[in-house]
Structure 1
Amino acid sequence: MSDTLRPTGSDNTQLARPLRVPIKRRSFFMYAGATAGATALVLAGCNDDDDKNQPAAPTTVNVGITAANDVGVLNYAYALEQLEAAFYTQVKDGAYYQGLPAASAEKQILDDLQYHEIAHREFFKAALGGAAIRGLEPDFSTVDFGVRNGAAAGKLGVLEAAKAFEDLGVAAYNGAGKFIQTPLNLLLAGKIVSVEARHAALIRDLLLEASFVGDDVVQVSTGGPIVAGGPVSATPTGLERSKSPADVVQIVNTFLKEGSKLDVSGLV
Structure 2
Amino acid sequence: MEKIDHLIKRAVSRRSFLAGAGTATAALAIGCSSNSVSTGGGGGTNPGITDNDIMNFALNLEYLEAEFYLYAATGKGLASADAGTGAGTTTVPSGIAAVPWGSSGFAQYASEIAQDEVNHVRFLRQAITGNGGTPVSRPNIDLTFFAPLAVAAGITTTPTFNPFLTPQAFLIGAFVFEDVGVTAYHGAAGLISSSTILGAAAGILGVEAYHAAAIRTLLTESAATTSDQTYVNIANKVADLRGTLGGSNETHVGLYAGDPTVGIVAADTTNAIAFSRSTDQVLHIVYGAVGGAGVGKGGFFPNGLNGKITATAS
Common fold by TM > 0.5: yes
Of 57, 61, 68, which residue of structure 2 is paired with 1:80? Answer: 61
| Contact persistence 2:144–2:162 (CA under 8 A) | no
Deviation at 1:135, TM superposition (A): 1.6
| Contact persistence 2:136–2:307 (CA under 8 A) | no
1:173 aligned partner, one-letter code: Y
Q: Are residues 1:143 and 2:155 paired?
A: no
CA distance in 2, matches of 1:207, 1:123: 30
Larger radius of gyration: 1
Counterpart of 1:128 in structure 2 is 128
CA distance in 2, matches of 1:207, 1:262: 35
CA distance in 1, matches of 2:49, 2:97: 46
| Contact persistence 2:146–2:162 (CA under 8 A) | yes
Scaled by the length of structure 2, the TM-score of the pair is: 0.52
1:117 aligned partner, one-letter code: E
1:187 aligned partner, one-letter code: G
Counterpart of 1:250 in structure 2 is 284
| Contact persistence 1:97–1:107 (CA under 8 A) | no
Structure 1 residues 259, 172: CA separation in 2 closer, same or farther (over 3 Å shift)?
Answer: closer
| Contact persistence 2:216–2:264 (CA under 8 A) | no
Q: Are residues 1:238 and 2:259 paired?
A: no
Structure 1 residue runs without a partner (length 5+): 1-61, 145-149, 221-235
Structure 2 residue runs without a partner (length 5+): 1-40, 76-94, 148-154, 164-169, 225-252, 255-261, 288-298
Of 52, 56, 67, which residue of structure 2 is paired with 1:71? Answer: 52
Identity %: 30
| Contact persistence 2:69–2:114 (CA under 8 A) | yes
Scaled by the length of structure 1, the TM-score of the pair is: 0.60
Deviation at 1:199, TM superposition (A): 0.3
Structure 1 residues 139, 133: CA separation in 2 closer, same or farther (over 3 Å shift)?
Answer: same
CA distance in 1, matches of 2:205, 2:105: 23
- C-alpha deviations, 1:140-186, integer Å up to 9, x for none? 11336xxxxx7674436321110010010000001010000001111
Structure 1 residues 267, 68: CA separation in 2 closer, same or farther (over 3 Å shift)?
Answer: farther
Pairing of 1:4-43 with structure 2 (within 5 A): none
Which structure exhibits the higher relative contact order, with contacts defined as CA atoms closer than 8 Å and separated by 6 or more residues? 2
Deviation at 1:77, TM superposition (A): 1.1
